Structure formats: structure tokens, C-alpha cells
Amino acid sequence: MRLSRSTRWFILVSILLVLVLVIAGCNRGGSSAPAEEPTATEEAAPAEEAAPAEEATPAEEAAPAEEATPAEEAAPAEEEATPAEEATPAEEATPAEEATPAEEAAPAEEATPAEEEAAPAEEAAPAEGEAAASDVTIALVYGVAGDGFYITMEKGLRDAAEAAGVNAVADGPSQFDPVQQTPILDAMVAKGVDAICIAATDKQAMIEPMQRAYDAGIPIISVDTFIGDGDYENGPVTFPLSYVGSDNVQGGQIACNAVIDAIGGEGKMYIQNVKPGISTTDQRQQGCEEAIAATEGAVELVGVDFNDDSAATAAEQTAAVLERDSDLAGIFGTNLFSAQGAAQAVKNAGLTGVVKVANFDAPEAAIVDLRNEVVDIVIAQLPYEMGQKCVEYSLLALDGKEDEIPARWPTGYVIITRDNVDSEEAQNAIYKSE
């Protein structure tokens, strides 16, 4: 039976409406594909298929077979039956694609902590020369522990070493004695220090120990005292690179000339010394004797005693001289303990201010004695400068610049009296106690 055209049209429209409703129902029922709901264009598709203009086209009305082809009518079913394509759960929510941990961790490449932390170490790496300098150790072997002169020298050494970026060590015996000083020197050699500055406690006995240190490849510099005759260019001992210290003959002359002036240019004088064989005090005695000889008899030297660096011994010896020579006018102490002992004997005899006492070296105790009129003249050396020169010359030697080191570097003096003790120059010259 052939259906009328209106009937066929009605059936076609009904089928299309059913298909639209089915597709819409599938989209609403697909819980895993909410984002792919039919667009307005898809919903409007039936209206386009049912547009009256196409309905009125004779050619289309004359081709019912094509309109009712079962395969074409069933095609929408294929579209309905593709929910996997419309809402494939694996595609919508694949964790690996949406948030791959490896991809999210990629910023670690932009700021790798190990690389960032290592960078400052590379920037702060010391230069080759600086690293070498920090490994250098310069040693000071001083004459006696607790002496303000050597405490001040050590301070000069350490300040200069810090400024140069090198290490400094210092040690010395409890007495001014080569027997005690030698093992301390040997210990510095065993430690492997790079350079040694030493105030030798005996100009002959310390030659061999210092030679051993030199033979071990360690540069040797004399400070304050010397070995041999102190002439490191033409004398019998030449291996020390330099002798840094006062001109002690000149120092003795300065001290005794000051005493001679204080006693009016005439009278009796006495010298308190440590012991023979110490280069510095030997030369101070020599300078004083030369100053006395220059008076051509106006001043008489009544004696020289050696106290073995003991103030108590110096006091006993001076007391005996005062008893023997009651008209003694002046005393020269070649170091701190010599002058302290002599001044104590003068005080005990009630002759303070009458017998003039010159103190060689300027520790704080000597300045106190000066203010209290126990001593009248204090001769200050420059031990701080000696410590600084020790570091300067040691570094030159370690840099292979020995030809730039003078064989002799004399330091000066400051004469301190009650008239100038508060001056800046005098205050800067006073030795430190710590």
C-alpha cells in the first residue's frame, strides 16, 4: 500500500524527533561526559531538516526512496551508539595526562637546590695566593715569658700576621736561659712552622740550635738579640736573614749620658747588668762605659755586677755598693730587673732622688717607679715594631725575595722622664702587660 505524501512526511518528522530525544537523553544520562552536552547548533539540526523550503522542493518530494532509505534512517542510531567517543572516561580523566607528576616537578630543573647552594662556594673560593697565605705560620721564640718587652713584641707580631692573613705562634722560656730556650726552638721546628723569629738568650750557645732550624729549611730572623757578632753579612755567623733590634751600644750611651747630665756631669757611677754573653745587655754596658770614658775622668765607674736577671740579687748587690761608696751618684740598670733591684736598694737606703737611676726598657712597672721617683730615666725601645718587621721579612723570605731583606734593621728609642711621661710619644712607647 502506498502511503500518501503527507503520511510519509509525518513519519519522517516523527522519526527525527524521536532520534533527537534519544540523543538528548543519552547526553543527560552520560555522567562521565557532562562537558559534551549537545550544542545549540546540534539541537537546531532537526529544524534545518524540517525547514519548509526544503519540504516544498518537488525534486525532494519525488524521491521518497531516498528519504526513507532504511540505512540512512538508521544512521542516527550509529550516532547514538557512540557513547564511548562522546564520553570516554579514559580520555576525560586520564591522570597521567591531566597531572603528570614528572611534568609538574619540572620546575626543579629551574632551581636545583644543589646547584644553587654550590654556587656561593664557587664565588667565595679564595684566590690561590690567599689560600697559600692562610697556611703560613710564623713563629716567635722570645727571650723570657712575662716580660712586657716581649709581650709588646708578640702583639706587634700577631697584629701584623692578622693583617697579612697568616698564622702566628709564640713561646719562650721562664728564664732568660739558652738551656730552657733550645727545646722550645726545637719544638717549633718539629711543628713545621714556616719561619722563625728568635731573641737568642746567648750569642754563642744559641748558634747551633738556630743552625739546626735553618738546616731544616726554615728562614731565621734575629729580633732584639743576635748571635755571633751580629754582622750577618761579613761576620762569623751569616745564616740568619736579618737582625732586627735596637742599636744597643747607642742605647747604653743615651741612657748613661742622661744619668751623667742628671748628676751634674761628675761623680761616681755603677752598672747593674744581667750576665755576660747576652748581646743586647753586653752592648748597653759597652755604650755606657763609652759615655763615661768620654767625660775624661769627671765621672768614675766604680763597678759592674751581674744579677742573673734577678731583681732580688740586684738589690743585694746594689746595697753592698751603696754601703761601700756612700757618695755614689748614679746607677744604670741594663734591663728592667736590674733597674728595679737597684732602685729598691736606693729606696731602702733612703737615697731616692739623691742617687739617680736609669732604667733600660719601659714596662708599666718602670713608669710607676718613674712617677714615684724611684727611677729618674726610662729608656724605651720599640718592640712592637720588631714584631711587625718579623712578619714582613718572613713573608719576603717565603716569597723568594731574600735580597729585599736588610741584614740589619735598627729600631730607635724614646727617652722618658717625669717631664714628658704624659706625652703622646712616651705613652705610645710604654710596653704592654698583656
Do 368 and 262 lie in a common domain?
A: yes
Whether residue 105 lies inside any domain: the answer is no
Do 34 and 178 lie in a common domain?
A: no
Q: Please answer whether residues 167 and 133 qualify as being in contact, where contact means their C-beta atoms are separated by less than 8 angstroms.
A: no
Whether residue 123 lies inside any domain: the answer is no
Nearest to 201 by CA among 218, 187, 182: 182
CA torsion sign for 414, 245, 154, 163 is: positive
Position 53 pLDDT exceeds 60: no
pTM of the model: 0.64
Do 11 and 83 lie in a common domain?
A: yes
Whether residue 401 lies inside any domain: the answer is yes
Whether residue 101 lies inside any domain: the answer is no
pLDDT interval class at 117 (50, 70, 90): very low
Do 191 and 336 lie in a common domain?
A: no
More confident site: 67 or 281:
281
More confident site: 180 or 27:
180
pLDDT, residue 434, reads: 76
pLDDT, residue 19, reads: 76
pLDDT, residue 113, reads: 41
Mean pLDDT, rounded, for 124-142: 68
Cα dist from 7 to 14, 74, 106, 127, 387, whole Å: 11, 19, 66, 101, 126
More confident site: 96 or 183:
183
Q: Please answer whether residues 200 and 179 qualify as being in contact, where contact means their C-beta atoms are separated by less than 8 angstroms.
A: no
pLDDT interval class at 149 (50, 70, 90): very high
Mean pLDDT, rounded, for 331-349: 93
pLDDT, residue 24, reads: 67
Position 182 pLDDT exceeds 70: yes
Lowest-confidence pick of 7-16, 23-32, 93-102, 350-359:
93-102
Distance from chain centroid for Cα 282:
40
Mean pLDDT, rounded, for 391-399: 98
Whether residue 190 lies inside any domain: the answer is yes
Lowest-confidence pick of 132-136, 294-298, 411-415, 430-434:
132-136
Whether residue 122 lies inside any domain: the answer is no
pLDDT, residue 420, reads: 96
Do 331 and 394 lie in a common domain?
A: no
More confident site: 107 or 371:
371
Do 203 and 330 lie in a common domain?
A: no
Output the DSSP codes for 346-373: HHHTT-BTTBEEEEES--HHHHHHHHTT
pLDDT, residue 25, reads: 66
Please tell me whether residue 236 adopts helix, strand or coil conformation.
coil
pLDDT, residue 3, reads: 61
CA distance 353 to 347: 9
At 401-412, the pLDDT tens digits run: 999 999 999 999
Do 255 and 270 lie in a common domain?
A: yes
Q: Write phi, then psi, for 405 (nearest 5 degrees).
A: -95, 120
The number of beta carbons lying within 10 Å of the beta carbon of residue 291 is 21
Cα dist from 80 to 14, 30, 83, 316, whole Å: 17, 12, 7, 130
Do 241 and 139 lie in a common domain?
A: yes
Position 126 pLDDT exceeds 70: no
pLDDT, residue 119, reads: 41
How many CA atoms are closer than 13 Å to the CA of 314, on its beta-carbon side?
A: 28
Q: Domain range for residue 164? A: 133-246+384-411
Q: How many domains does the chain have?
A: 3
C-alpha cell at 27: 547526553
Position 131 pLDDT exceeds 50: no
Whether residue 108 lies inside any domain: the answer is no
Do 163 and 215 lie in a common domain?
A: yes
Do 38 and 66 lie in a common domain?
A: yes
Mean pLDDT, rounded, for 195-224: 97
Do 70 and 87 lie in a common domain?
A: yes
CA distance 308 to 292: 24
- Type of residue at 172: G
More confident site: 365 or 7:
365
**CATH, residue 163:** 3.40.50.2300
Whether residue 55 lies inside any domain: the answer is yes
Please tell me whether residue 273 adopts helix, strand or coil conformation.
strand
* Residues 6+ away with beta carbon under 8 Å from 392: 160
**Chain mean pLDDT for the chain:** 80
Do 374 and 291 lie in a common domain?
A: yes
At 11-28, the pLDDT tens digits run: 777 887 777 777 766 555
More confident site: 66 or 156:
156
Q: Please answer whether residues 282 and 276 qualify as being in contact, where contact means their C-beta atoms are separated by less than 8 angstroms.
A: yes
Mean pLDDT, rounded, for 166-175: 97
Mean pLDDT, rounded, for 238-258: 96
Position 57 pLDDT exceeds 90: no
